[in-house]
Structure 1
């Protein structure tokens, strides 16, 4: 990784609004920003949100124009959406849906030279508020990141949509957000470069740590509440941690091992049906191992995230410590020259990653057995 520029930098969305029924505010909040907005949403999301969006826009004197999202944030999809935005004379794009939809809206809006708004319908990643788009290949392997240079003009989160979504989305978001503090303290806290090339301000590190604290205090209750489709203070706290605080903490706190391991895992076909935060959680355990964290801290993290419902073993990803060919491929991708893993204060080799992944499996099994938790079994694709 390059040396950080000798300046601190903090970025954020221009506005963040969250709460049950917040979708009704969409038209009111974007009307001062545009005259011809275009919505990007897939057919499933539009099926449960379209009427509310259309009514909100109508009340604000705006027409409803929608582009259907193709399902994955790829260069091809972004180019197609950007072209359609230009053809329709859009002066703002609203991404409505999950992380891939939002990243596509952000990148396509950037290419079209217009601002973007994100309306996440799950709390599964911190993508909604960031100025970064994660781009995949058509096969679902992570290809590259795009640093867009600005953040959304608005992030609007309807907590009821989050409560109505499958609980696996919230759990995945918790996995993504829990990594924020672990990576920020290892990277930004050590003066390493952020994705922007600048140094981490204290504000970014504080946001990352607050996200961690909120999740440790509220995650289990919020998961129980979503299973009953209830919006509660615990759920709203977790939504804010997953989306806002994790995003702030990532962009102004830094990335490290956890997300590099996620990126490595994308080359394993067995993991393609799993969500971002589910793979990141394995990376968080590797992060702790490479940090030299005390056994008590590593084991506590494994115990807590197992109870949350996150994978804490290779078995749950469909991988095996005997499959050295796949593990070596994951490790090579994890340690590419431009990966965040190289924010560590020592050289991280593929063999170090293979050894750490093997330790994840053995530690997880030991912790589960000691605490009477179920032995790991392969995850079903739960989307």
Structure 2
């Protein structure tokens, strides 16, 4: 059995609305013992908004989204029938890992609009030192994802922008992979994945600027809602429909490689993925597309240069940990080019830096 090739669209239930978090007790009724996985800042943000009695036991993650930390938390919990994960991407991924260890359900309450972690059964697993380890495929998707638009106005703008960067990669990665397939090889679900990625691209190109402005003004509009649901829900659908053909490719491989440069550890996931899109396009010699994206990136605040990711040493030696990992056998740049080498990754980065 290979779970990675299965069609797994996403959360069992996806509930959205203004103020919907106030109904949280009703959503928890089916469960007898709730264990909350969260972080210090995440839970404070949640508490400031929720302002109701909340008597469930809390378990703090250590920031790593690692299997080791998930095991520690599961051992501390001992027994429960649902994990209520409240926080950003790494908290939610930790919640999924804990639920996997305990073989129970997980409910996702995101405190940020920054990625598809609240929706997808896939986890970005890190080592305890926060370097990337692997993509983890959970046996369960979240039982419930609660999207409260009013609450999510607390999303810092930089996280929102990073979410846009992470999500727009869906189009460039799925097209980069599937253009190598014949029409006969494109199954019904691969075609659905491509179609959903095109919807993502269209929404983000048309609504992102307005969505960012709406966030600044702290107002909920149709554009803000569309961008939020695109980042959280539609992004997960693409990989869910198209499976391995709709998940990670060159852009995410560059993100993973950049995690091996200590200077990037404070950088947001989506910003590194956004830069990775440019590197993937440089490798496939799509320079006109890079130039088109430059305008969008500058208007939204996404990075176009390594210096914006705090990487100042762009020498071959300085970038070696990144380029070697991005081109490694286990990485998804090989979905774009099975023969990719560290030298080619380095040359693609130099092209991006020169534009």
What TM-score comes out, normalization by structure 1 length? 0.84
Distance in 1 separating the partners of 2:178 and 2:93: 24
For 2:345, the equivalent position in structure 1 comes to 353
Q: 1:121 aligns with which of 111, 130, 142?
A: 111
CA drift of 1:353 comes to: 0.4
Verify the 8 A CA contact 1:24 1:56 in the aligned structure 2.
Answer: no
CA drift of 1:75 comes to: 2.3
CA drift of 1:208 comes to: 1.7
Distance in 2 separating the partners of 1:231 and 1:163: 8
Q: 2:197 aligns with which of 188, 208, 216?
A: 208
Q: 2:273 aligns with which of 253, 273, 280?
A: 280
Deviates more, 1:139-148 or 1:271-280: 139-148
Distance in 1 separating the partners of 2:172 and 2:222: 25
Q: How do 1:81-160 and structure 2 match up within 5 A?
A: 81-85=73-77, 87=78, 89-160=79-150
Q: 1:248 aligns with which of 234, 237, 262?
A: 237
Q: 2:334 aligns with which of 339, 342, 351?
A: 342
1:174 paired to 2:164: yes
CA drift of 1:319 comes to: 2.2
1:219 paired to 2:194: no
Verify the 8 A CA contact 1:177 1:211 in the aligned structure 2.
Answer: yes
For 1:367, the equivalent position in structure 2 comes to none
Q: Cα deviation per residue 1:32-83 (whole Å; 9 max; x = unaligned)?
A: 3x111111111222223236657387xxxxx522212222212221111111
For 2:37, the equivalent position in structure 1 comes to 40
Distance in 1 separating the partners of 2:309 and 2:115: 19
Distance in 1 separating the partners of 2:50 and 2:219: 22
Distance in 1 separating the partners of 2:284 and 2:140: 32
Let me know the Cα RMSD of the aligned residues: 2.3
Verify the 8 A CA contact 1:265 1:330 in the aligned structure 2.
Answer: yes
SS in 1 for 2:348: helix
For 1:22, the equivalent position in structure 2 comes to 20
Distance in 1 separating the partners of 2:6 and 2:103: 27
Closer, same or farther: CA 73–15 of 1 in aligned 2, 3 Å: same
Q: Cα deviation per residue 1:21-40 (whole Å; 9 max; x = unaligned)?
A: 121122222323x1111111
CA drift of 1:257 comes to: 0.4
Verify the 8 A CA contact 1:8 1:201 in the aligned structure 2.
Answer: no
SS in 2 for 1:246: helix
Deviates more, 1:70-79 or 1:306-315: 70-79
Q: Which runs of 5 or more structure 1 residues have no equivalent in the other structure?
A: 58-62, 193-197, 364-383
SS in 2 for 1:333: helix
Deviates more, 1:311-320 or 1:352-361: 311-320
CA drift of 1:133 comes to: 1.4
1:235 paired to 2:224: yes
For 2:65, the equivalent position in structure 1 comes to 73
CA drift of 1:104 comes to: 0.3
Distance in 1 separating the partners of 2:307 and 2:163: 21
Distance in 1 separating the partners of 2:21 and 2:274: 30
SS in 1 for 2:134: strand
CA drift of 1:206 comes to: 1.9
SS in 2 for 1:134: strand
Verify the 8 A CA contact 1:257 1:340 in the aligned structure 2.
Answer: yes
